[in-house]
Each structure stands twice: as structure tokens, then as C-alpha cells.
């Protein structure tokens, strides 16, 4: 059973009562991430996420972790490009404790200067660890190739330079601007008493307010035709190819997800079977979609011996051309729908996954996406809808790319990408 309501301060609450479980998951969602930042404060959203765990007026950093873990619960958080989430999963008997701890972190964190300086070192090590991961480097590089100077391209972790510049005043001012009830959602899924939980939420979050409000309003970035390369001394070349996608909130996303799954979503997909199984050029290859407010992209990722890069690009483009031309058979469409429904339903087998699904849906769309509604939308996918989405996405061709690895012939790869696709003006390829 679902319930969606709003407190007097504008905070949205979404509840899903699941009476056959013995756990409850509580999440505080804030519509704030790296997309809200600029080049001067890039990484501050992620840094603030860390600082909320560093101690409050009522609990030390150790006590924040202990009070949840001592009752067998889990506490964590994550920051994305458009949202930050703090969440706790515990036995249903500890629901009030979960609300108490999250509200304590939100309203009573100390942000001591010495803790800020210490945490800078932790986050800088996290950035360095990311630099050691070619996949992470590639993802940030491809974001720059796709969106250029738009804030959406900024790395979630920020840079060493920006992290070093953060101070208490900057952190407190940023929180008062973006961590506001109008930008936030409390999502609770699991076993609870509905009347009691509404009173508890009002008890711990009803007085939340801010006078320095920055209600999130995102830009409408263009998807660029740009190809970026970063040299890194590693064995393989990692590459990511970008195709225009669909923005979040659109029903067309389900058709696009189905197309992406068929083309490169798993071991039975076209890309996996052709590039890995038949040709043996790589170990991993897949496609996936990323959707945001006002924009979206389909990405194709693989890593392989640099000398086979041009061959792999040729094959990927050939398979994409065949995919566009031949489409999906009736039999394949039925199987793809079942696969999509199965993966979606299996992904909702825990209270935490349901909490994530509900919180994100209400935060960005201001509505609950019930499983029955999603299944109906998947069932309603037909060839006409697939063709409409194909024209908006795959038929646009590979418009941007990013490469991470040893020295490669950029011009050769650029020519392979741009050959026999819809022409785009001002195509460029740069090494950084």
C-alpha cells in the first residue's frame, strides 16, 4: 500500500507498507548533486555527504555508525549528478531510531574545521583511487565530450584543487541553500504502522526550514559532437561511444531501454554475441542508457587491445546499422519485454530497492511509479513506438566518444565513427 503526502514545510513523504517483511528502509533524498555546482565548488555535494557522518551535537562519528550497526542495521549514502541520498535499513522495530539518526545528521552536524581538513584527505584519496580506474576516468571524460561546459559534465567527486578549497562557511551556506524541504523527499518502505510513521516523520522533520532557498532548476544542455582522448599507461584501450538518448520522466525510456538491452544489454545481446563471442575482440562490451532532466544518452562501452580499436568500431557501427535497418522481430520483442519485466521486478525484491525506486520517482517526477504501472508500460511497447524511439536515438548515429589508454591514431578512429552516419557539423577530436 502506498501513501504520498506533503508536510506544511513542503517536504514530500512517500510510504510503501509491506506487511510481510520484518525490515524497513528509510531514505532522505535531496535534489542536489554535481549538476548544481560550478567549476569553483565542484565536488562540494559529495564532500557534504561525507561530512554528515563526521559527528553531531548528539553523536560522535563512531556513535552514528554504532547505533545503527549495533541493532543489525545498515547506514550509508551516495551522491549522483542530480541527487544525494542518505539511507538506513533496519528491523521494523527500529524505524524511529532510523528517523532520529538521519534527522540528527541533517540538522545537528557540527562541521568542525579539524574534521573538514581531515576529510579532505579522505576524499582526495578517493579521487586518486578513481584516477587509477580507467572506467571511472572514461566516464568523466565522456561526460565532457557529451555536455562540454555544462554542469552536467562535472565529476561527482570534484577535483583535488576544489576539495582543498572547501571551508566551513562555504559548506554551511551551501547546505542552507540546497538542503531544503522543497527540494527533498523522505522515502520509507517496509513494515510499519501508517498512522504512527506519519507522526514520527512530522516529529523529526516538521520544523525543517530554510531562509536561503535555491530550488533546483536545471539547464537544457546540447549533446555535442566531440571526441576526447586521455593517455594513460595501461594495457587496454577503454572506449565509450555516445548516442543521443531520452530525458528522464518520458515513457519513451521503456522503449529505449528495451532497444538498448537487445543491442548490448547482456550475454545474449547483439554486441556481446558478435564482438566478443564470434570475433573474440574483447572480454566486456555492453550498452546502457543514462537519463537526466532535459537530456539523455545511450552509451556503448568496451575495452580491448588498442590495435583492434578500429576493427571493433567498424563492427559496432555495422551491427548498429543492421539493428536500425532490421529492427526487432515479433518473437524477439516478446522475449525482450519479458526480460525487461523480469529484471525490473527482481530488482524490487528488497525494502531498500523499493525505497530507492519510490524516493527517486517522487523526487524527480512528483509521482509514484508503481510496479503495475511500469509493467503496463512495458507491455504497451510495440514496433511503432520502437521505431519512433529508434529515430530519436540510434538513427542519429554515434555523435561523441571518449578513449582512455595508450597512444592511438585518433584520426583513424574519428573517420571510422563519422563514416556513413547522419552528418553533424563542427565535429572535433581532441587529446587531453
Beta-bridge partner residues of 329? none
User: Which cell numbers in the block locate residue 99?
Assistant: 528517523
Q: Is 49 a catalytic residue?
A: yes
Neighbours of 119 (CB within 10 A): 18
SS3 state of residue 66? helix
Report the candidate in 39, 36, 15 with the shortest Cα–Cα distance to residue 27.
Answer: 15
User: Cell 530519436 belongs to which residue?
Assistant: 392
92 exposure class (CB count in 10 Å sphere: 0-12, 13-18, 19+): middle
Which residue is it, cell 571518449?
Answer: 402
Nearest to 197 by CA among 3, 404, 410, 393: 3
Q: Are 157 and 43 in contact (CB under 8 A)?
A: yes
16, 31, 37, 49: the catalytic one is 49
CB atoms within 10 A of CB 162: 21
**Can you count the helices (H) and strands (E) in the chain?**
16, 12
Which residues pair with residue 297 across a beta bridge? Answer: 244, 290
The percent of the chain in helix, strand and coil, each rounded to the nearest 5, is 50, 20, 30
In whole angstroms, give the CA distance from residue 97 to residue 13.
Answer: 18
User: Using CA atoms, how far apart are residues 416 and 401, in angstroms rounded to an integer?
Assistant: 12
* Active site (catalytic) residues: 49
Amino acid at each position: 500500500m502506498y501513501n504520498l503526502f506533503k508536510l506544511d514545510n513542503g517536504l514530500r513523504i512517500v510510504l510503501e507498507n509491506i506487511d510481510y517483511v520484518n525490515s524497513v528502509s528509510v531514505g532522505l533524498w535531496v535534489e542536489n548533486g554535481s549538476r548544481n555546482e560550478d567549476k569553483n565548488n565542484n565536488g562540494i555535494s559529495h564532500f557534504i555527504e561525507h561530512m554528515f557522518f563526521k559527528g553531531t551535537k548528539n553523536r560522535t562519528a563512531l556513535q552514528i555508525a554504532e547505533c545503527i550497526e549495533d541493532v543489525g542495521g545498515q547506514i550509508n549514502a551516495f551522491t549522483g549528478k542530480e541527487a544525494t541520498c542518505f539511507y538506513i535499513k533496519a528491523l521494523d522495530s527500529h524505524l524511529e531510531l532510523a528517523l532520529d539518526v538521519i534527522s540528527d545528521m541533517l540538522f545537528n552536524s557540527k562541521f568542525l574545521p579539524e574534521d573538514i581538513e581531515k576529510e579532505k584527505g579522505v576524499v582526495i584519496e578517493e579521487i586518486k583511487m578513481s584516477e587509477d580506474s580507467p572506467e571511472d576516468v572514461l566516464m568523466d571524460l565522456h561526460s565532457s565530450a557529451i555536455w562540454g561546459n555544462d554542469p552536467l559534465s562535472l565529476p561527482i567527486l570534484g577535483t583535488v584543487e576544489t576539495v582543498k578549497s572547501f571551508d566551513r562557511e562555504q559548506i554551511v551556506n551551501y547546505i542552507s541553500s540546497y538542503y531544503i524541504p522543497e527540494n527533498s523527499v523522505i522515502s520509507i518502505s517496509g513494515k510499519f504502522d501508517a498512522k504512527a510513521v506519519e507522526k514520527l516523520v512530522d516529529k523529526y522533520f516538521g520544523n525543517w526550514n530554510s531562509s536561503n532557498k535555491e530550488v533546483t532548476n536545471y539547464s537544457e544542455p546540447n549533446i555535442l559532437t566531440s571526441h576526447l582522448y586521455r593517455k594513460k599507461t595501461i594495457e587496454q584501450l577503454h572506449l565509450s561511444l555516445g548516442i543521443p538518448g531520452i530525458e528522464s520522466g518520458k515513457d519513451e525510456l521503456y522503449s529505449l531501454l528495451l532497444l538498448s538491452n537487445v543491442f548490448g544489454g547482456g550475454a545474449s545481446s547483439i554486441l556481446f554475441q558478435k564482438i566478443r563471442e564470434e570475433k573474440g575482440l574483447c572480454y566486456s562490451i555492453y550498452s546502457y542508457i543514462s537519463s537526466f532532466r532535459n537530456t539523455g544518452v545511450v552509451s556503448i562501452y568496451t575495452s580491448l587491445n588498442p590495435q583492434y580499436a578500429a576493427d571493433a568500431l567498424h563492427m559496432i557501427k555495422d551491427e548498429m546499422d543492421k539493428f536500425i535497418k532490421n529492427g526487432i522481430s515479433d518473437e524477439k520483442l516478446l522475449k525482450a519485454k519479458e526480460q525487461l519485466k523480469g529484471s525490473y521486478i527482481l530488482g524490487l525484491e528488497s525494502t531498500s530497492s523499493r525505497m530507492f525506486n519510490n524516493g527517486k520517482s517522487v523526487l524527480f517526477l512528483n509521482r509514484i511509479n508503481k510496479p503495475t504501472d511500469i509493467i503496463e508500460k512495458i507491455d504497451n511497447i510495440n514496433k511503432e513506438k520502437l521505431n519512433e524511439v529508434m529515430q530519436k536515438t540510434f538513427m542519429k548515429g554515434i555523435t561523441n566518444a571518449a578513449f582512455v589508454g595508450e597512444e592511438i591514431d585518433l584520426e583513424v578512429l574519428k573517420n571510422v565513427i563519422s563514416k556513413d552516419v547522419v552528418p553533424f557539423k563542427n565535429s572535433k577530436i581532441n587529446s587531453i
